[in-house]
Amino acid sequence: MRKPQKKTRQEEALSHFHQLFRQASAVAKANPALADRYVLMARRIAMRNRISMPRQFKRMICKHCYRFLQPGTTARVRVAKRRVIWYCRNCKKYSRLLFSARKSA
């Protein structure tokens, strides 16, 4: 049996991420522990396939304690000095993300 191509594995992992994060955000309010489990599964998929997590998913994970971050429930989000600041309510640490002004056509 042939090993699956790298491309298809990446695409598979990507669809997994979409699914896991959708589920995580659905349960985050009622069951934060379950949301954290989904995030852990997503991270494991990324590590196993040796791919980096897409940006839109990466920012939903606390980089200090790897918990699921959801604005309003598990995280606080502020914008200051061209940065998006995520405050994790679990470990009480901040993550700062730079955002660049998107060039409009």
Site string for Zn ion, 1-40 (x = CB under 5 A): ----------------------------------------
Burial of 15 (0-12, 13-18, 19+ CB in 10 A): exposed
Nearer to Zn ion, 17 or 32 (CB): 32
Residue 56 contacts by C-beta under 8 Å, 6 or more apart in sequence? none
Q: Which is nearer to Zn ion, 16 or 89 (CB)?
A: 89
End-to-end CA distance of the chain: 48
Nearer to Zn ion, 9 or 87 (CB): 87
Interface residue list for Zn ion (CB under 5 A): 62, 64-65, 88, 90-91
